[in-house]
Chains A and B, each alone.
Chain A
Amino acid sequence: MASFFTSRLFFVSLVLVIIAATLPLYVSGYVLGLLTVAFYFGVFAMAWDLLFGFAGEVNFGPTFLIGVGAYTAGILNAQFGWSVYLCIVLGASASVIAGLVLALPALRVRGPYFGLTTLVAVLMLQNFIVVFADLTGGEIGLTIPDVITINAGANYWIALGFMTISAAILYGLSQSPVGLVLQASGQDPVQAGALGFNIVKHKLAAFIVSAFFSGLSGALLVFYFGTASVGTVVDVAVGVNVIVSAVLGGRRTVLGAALGAIFLIVAGEFLRPTGELATFIVSAVALLVVLFFPGGFLGAALSREARS
């Protein structure tokens, strides 16, 4: 852990964060808005990587955790008028509870079965949102009366600060003994168990941490957008973006996942002139990275550093 503070990765991250923090001084509100969303997605992707990259479990349900956090915060604000900050805290808490409920059956199974259990959770949440339309706004979405602030620069700084703190905590966790046990259990669960580690307990902990950050980020995003809808926080397509971000940036790197998310959202925007082909191009690029640079952006950069 101590070696991290002298590593090149730490200095590069520090410089990037400082440069990013000065952006509101000279770029347009449009760019800031784009990056604000990208930063929240960065947290989604990092939280997902903790579970996938380290514990080796493909969680198809990141949007279940994100959606529970987002909708809980949104509903409490829109239907009951509770204050924004209380709603954010309760949103993150609801996500942790939902994560616990999902983890109990999901962690008993592995691989594709785990993937499906988590996918079903997303589909159920979608169905319930549509069925309880009075409360949730249904397919149209929920309009949120309050926002944290309407200042684009302030919103951007909140998102950047939130992402940086989350990254520090999640990265620290991934390098801690807990992270190492997770990694071991992902690679060889039988052996890790034989060494006396309680794998299920570690995975449960990873799931809960993942749920906390996903839910918190989802709740913050709702108060940035001013709306909560299936398409923005629950849809399987959003989950696909989270998964692609983490793989693209480099699994098991945590920080890479955030880079992947920022790349994905910014690239999607750059490709907007190509119209409907934008998603096609982004997916094709991601597929090429998966095939030729399976370590992802950060994985490739780090292995080069290790070699030199």
Chain B
Amino acid sequence: MRAFQILIDGFAISALYALGATGFTLIFGVSGVLNLSHGAIMVAAAVAAWAAASVLNVGTYAGALIGVGVALLTAFATYFAVVKPIQDSRRIPNEEKEIFVLTGTLLWGIMIQELIAYFFTNNAKTVLPIVEGVVDVLGVRTPKNEIFTAIVCCLVIALLWLLVNRTRTGKAVLAASMNPRGVTLLGLELTNIYIVVWAIYGILAGIAGVLLGMFLGVSSYSVGPLTASAFSIVVLGGLGSVSGSLIAAFVVGYLETATAYLVSPAYRTIPALLLLVFVMYIRPQGLLGRR
């Protein structure tokens, strides 16, 4: 009974982790950018969806759509106002750009977090779920919302896989991740590819944020922990490896759920952190990372 419960709850949270980390790893894989405003963008999406549905009464579907739209706009703003100026800057030496992108996106994330806190307070917000009610799965009472979350996450990741591997745009993105200079020699504008990647990222982060808002609720305090957990999952999986972060998301998700049920919710995150240190020690590049 409890095993089934861990199996089901763990699956939903793992799928959500996977979706939340996928966009983050995609951007890193393609352009080497570690976006530390990731958590802020997810929370912005959730809060926008909450405000649209609960305050403006536009309905749950329109609310969710607005949330994703806000994430998309925020992702574009992140790229054009922070990441691109740093990458194009002549005053920053090339070998330090990575560090400046980290610092810049970190500050940007704090700015978004503070604006959310200012306009919407620090209180936790739960986005109205699209499906409600409870259903019995393998003898475990499970909220339909939890099943919905898991299905949407899996669908979106599958769609992303199709997009990257089966379309022309996707192939250009893949090529850019392997050899940026080669892509420009083929006559493709690198900036355009990055814009496409940031658009995909914005939508992924938006969907993940809105689902998180429905499933667990968010507040401006969630920003840091969300960025940290996406970062951990992506590094555990191997930076830039999408399949690696999917595996890592399930390992972390199940480890946390099992700890919460079998030991105590207070110890929830500790085994996953220990595992992370252990993996860093024996395999510094992560599970499926290239060096």
Contacts and interface: CB of A to CB of B under 8 A. Distances in A.
Interface residues of A, number: 39
A111 interface: yes
8 contacts: A56-B99, A105-B277, A120-B277, A127-B273, A237-B224, A243-B106, A280-B115, A290-B86
A81 B103 CA distance: 41
A117 interface: yes
Contacts of A58: 99, 102
Q: Across the A-B interface, give the 7 residue pairs with the lowest CB-CB distance, nearest first.
A: A280-B114, A109-B284, A287-B107, A283-B110, A116-B235, A294-B92, A105-B281
Given A115-B102, A237-B224, A294 B91 contact: yes
A116 B117 contact: no
Specify which of A115, A286, A290 lies most central, judged by the most chain B CB atoms within 10 Å of its CB: A290
A305 interface: no
Nearest to A279: B114
Contacts of B274: 124
Given A112-B239, A123-B228, A277-B118, A287 B280 contact: no
B103 A290 contact: yes
Contacts of B103: 243-244, 247, 290
Interface in A108-137: 108-109, 111-113, 115-117, 119-120, 123-124, 127, 130-131
B269 A283 contact: no
B96 to A, nearest CB: 8
A111 B99 CA distance: 9
Contact residues of A: prevailing secondary structure: helix
Nearest to B268: A127
Contacts of A280: 110-111, 114-115, 118
A247 B86 CA distance: 14
A280 B40 CA distance: 13
B280 A109 contact: yes
B250 to A, nearest CB: 19
Contact of A124 (B95, B100, B273, B285): B273
Interface string A47-61: 000001000101000
Contacts of B286: 113
A290 B270 contact: no
B266 interface: yes
Contacts of A111: 98
A198 interface: no
